[in-house]
Amino acid sequence: IRRLKPIATDSDLERLHKGARNKKGRTRSRNRKDKVPVTRAVLRSYIKKKQEHVGRLAAGWNSASNRLRVRVPAWVKRHSSPGSVVLEVGGRGGIKFRATNSIDHASEQPNFQRGVYIAMAMQANAMKRQIDSYLAKEMVKEMKGEMS
């Protein structure tokens, strides 16, 4: 049995990890040719380095979430990233809201647009529930007033 020498640095591990990615940027276990030993210290260092980037893409929406007073997870809030928001109330169009994530590579992400649509649908559903709740409370108040 041949004894493999463990990877010595996190940059070597990063190079190996990048090389294992397919054209979509994914690594698949079935595509793994050889397992390579890694020391715990190198693995921890590499994972920590990668985790520091988690939330950068989502942080492009920080300005919009601040404007809407939506709470953002700490792993997103810790990054300051470019983004803009415009909110117009009134006029014939009613309420117009435009949020922009200005991170350079945001639109290149595979599911970026789908994620935006999902977030918008979730927010629209939340707003509908709030409106329904408000209208139900107002109806109860009105009915109590008629009974008196």
pLDDT of the residue at 128 = 92
pLDDT of the residue at 135 = 95
Q: Which residue has the tokens 């209208």?
A: 135
Whether 132 shows a pLDDT value over 90: the answer reads yes
Q: Which residue has the higher pLDDT, 117 or 43?
A: 43
Whether 137 shows a pLDDT value over 90: the answer reads yes
Among residues 76, 32, 82, 31, which one has the least CA distance to residue 55? 76
Q: Which residue has the higher pLDDT, 27 or 128?
A: 128
Span 15-31, pLDDT tens digits: 888 888 888 777 777 65
Question: And the tokens for 83?
Answer: 């983004």
Question: And the tokens for 85?
Answer: 């928001």
Nearest-angstrom CA–CA distance, 62 and 71? 10
Whether 131 shows a pLDDT value over 80: the answer reads yes
Question: And the tokens for 105?
Answer: 């590579």
Average pLDDT over residues 39-55: 90
Nearest-angstrom CA–CA distance, 18 and 25? 8
Question: Could you tell me the pLDDT band of residue 136, with boundaries at 50, 70 and 90?
Answer: very high
**What pTM, to 2 d.p., does this model score?**
0.54
